[in-house]
Structure 1
Amino acid sequence: MQKVIRKYKRGQGYGKSTKKVLDELTLNEMFEKFMTFKKTEALAPRTISEYYIHFDYLKDFLGDDMTSENITLEDFRGYIGYMLHDKELKPMTVNIRIRKMRAFIRFCFTEGYIDTPIHKNFKPVKAPEDTLESFTPADVKKLLNVIDDELYTGFSDKVIIFVLLDTLVRISELVAFKRSNVDLKGGFIQLELTSLPPFPALVGFVPRA
């Protein structure tokens, strides 16, 4: 029986290199692969949404979709300068956007979609230190003393302050409270965490008279 020898042109069939496939990926395609991966981490819907929002900011700066071959560190450094000087965003805001996109390009490098570890030099910018001082016990007493808890609004304000002090819950989480999150008999509040996988966290509290 005559042996059949099959010949393949370069870039076709089994001869098609993995590098060629990766080179054909666009920035949008790589981001969708990144988000598919992030969704396996059981992140909260809000966190997933933030990745899309910050990617849109980056795309607005870049203008057109890019391929994995022509993405450079200069693009991301230019993005930082654009946010700081053209948009005049605060360093804290810039750093939030940088961290989200840095996670994306780190993923691209780890997966082999890009050849250069851009994320190593695409770092958060220096931001002013937070010098905001917290309330002292005396400050808290003064605040509570000026609230008229005979009024519904005053009583509501005191409850909010007590919950914040007793549980150290974030204001955004407190605002998102539902009746189902509070167990008066058990003496605890169940939070829906937004920055960690969505399992319930129990925060103890002591109901006040």
Structure 2
Amino acid sequence: MSTSTGKTPHKRGQRKNNLDIPQRFLDRLTPTVLETTHSSTLKADKTLPETLTLDRLFYRYYSARQAAGAAERTLEDYRKHMNLFRRFLASEYNGLDNFVPNRDVIRSWISSMLTVQKLKPSTINIRLRTVKAMFNWAMSERIIKESPFENVELLKVPEEDFQVISKAHERKLFNCCELTTFTGLRDALLMSFLLDTGVRIGECMRIFVEEVDLQNRSASVRAESAKTRKARTVYFGARTQELLVIYLAWHEKNGQAPNLFLNEFGQPLDKNWATRCISFIGKKAKISGVRISPHTFRHTFATRYIKATGDPFSLRRLLGHSSMEMVNRYVNQDVADVREQYEKFMNGGNEL
């Protein structure tokens, strides 16, 4: 014992675990106090479950689809259609911020699109499929037990004939393009490229100059640019080739981006601008009865191809379809085509 302090000296390296606490404080730590303190600690550590809202559900779904490598076109559709759904909820249900909508809400949305917005059944079904896919995913992830689309059927779509651009319409469109100006040359090239290749407008805007082969008259659609995430090669004719020769000379000097189609400042065009541009040319050409749009150009290419070759399998590869379902619609020719084939049959094709 130390003579100066009256305490037993603590050896170096020895663990000291004693606390010099007065007994009056220890007496206050009764079993009741200890139990209350422990219970409060457990309650503080327990995390309350997160309230599931439509926005939170969409965020999780969108992140999952991004992680799975969904195409930017697909992700854009998710954002677009979900925003349209939110807009409806905000106007009719005050946003539904605190819960996920049920099937009555979905049916009310369908009714609004039919009667108020007067949309086509095919357009409505596109929006419904996008939102429905999110709820199907949520069920597969066991986030929800039942989809609000349960027992809600898609609308029946009447089979319509594809609109196609006639050769006369085509001449009128190209006559509106002033080839001595950059914009006129580019617009003529854009229409010619779409008519020759049948590519989707989003895919077209993402094609790079280095992916165009002038000599072989072909262009590559990268997997990350394609809607189906599968790369493919498309081909173009002599008119497109001649326009490309002149256009690429401008692109080499003025292009600020690798994309094939640029604006006058050398920056990439987007598909919305290109769609508006083609529509404007259609109005300028005073074409009526046919909707002048990039998708009509795609239908025109497919219809002309199937009439010329009769080969739906190579058409599927050129169009970039994942199945034959859509291609078969082009095979179902209109009445005039059936009559033409029948006359060929009657004029010598039916002999045994």
Same fold (TM over 0.5): yes
The more displaced of 119-128 and 104-113 is: 119-128
8 Å Cα contact 1:98/1:122 also seen in 2: no
Partner of 2:58: 31
CA distance in 1 between partners of 2:65 and 2:234 (Å): 27
Structure 2: gaps of 5 or more residues:
1-37, 243-352
Q: 1:157 to 1:111 in 2, by over 3 A?
A: closer
1:153-180 C-alpha deviation (Å, 9 max, x unpaired) = 8987876666445433235544665534
Q: TM-score, normalised by structure 2?
A: 0.44
Q: 1:167 to 1:79 in 2, by over 3 A?
A: same
Partner of 1:3: none
What is the number of residues matched between the two proteins? Answer: 189
- The structure showing larger relative contact order (alpha-carbon pairs under 8 Å, at least 6 residues apart) is 1
CA distance in 2 between partners of 1:134 and 1:53 (Å): 28
The more displaced of 152-161 and 115-124 is: 152-161
Q: 1:82 to 1:21 in 2, by over 3 A?
A: same
Q: 1:40 to 1:196 in 2, by over 3 A?
A: farther
The more displaced of 72-81 and 39-48 is: 39-48
Measured after TM superposition, the shift of residue 44 of structure 1 is: 2.6
Q: TM-score, normalised by structure 1?
A: 0.68
Match of 2:116 among 83, 86, 89: 86
8 Å Cα contact 2:81/2:131 also seen in 1: yes
Structure 2 counterpart SS, 1:202: strand
Q: 1:46 to 1:164 in 2, by over 3 A?
A: closer
Measured after TM superposition, the shift of residue 73 of structure 1 is: 1.0
CA distance in 1 between partners of 2:39 and 2:63 (Å): 33
Structure 1 counterpart SS, 2:112: helix
Measured after TM superposition, the shift of residue 21 of structure 1 is: 4.0
Larger Rg: 2
Q: 1:13 to 1:195 in 2, by over 3 A?
A: farther
Match of 1:104 among 108, 113, 134: 134
CA distance in 1 between partners of 2:76 and 2:171 (Å): 41
8 Å Cα contact 2:103/2:150 also seen in 1: no
Q: For 1:164-183, what aligned pairs fall within 5 Å after superposition?
A: 164-171=194-201, 173-174=203-204, 177-183=207-213
Provide the identity percentage. Answer: 25
Runs ≥4 residues deviating over 6 A: 11-16, 144-148, 153-158
Q: 1:98 to 1:144 in 2, by over 3 A?
A: closer
Match of 2:99 among 63, 67, 70: 67
**Residue 230 of structure 2 corresponds to residue 203 of structure 1:** no
8 Å Cα contact 1:98/1:123 also seen in 2: no
CA RMSD of aligned residues (A): 3.8
8 Å Cα contact 1:54/1:97 also seen in 2: yes
Structure 1: gaps of 5 or more residues:
1-6
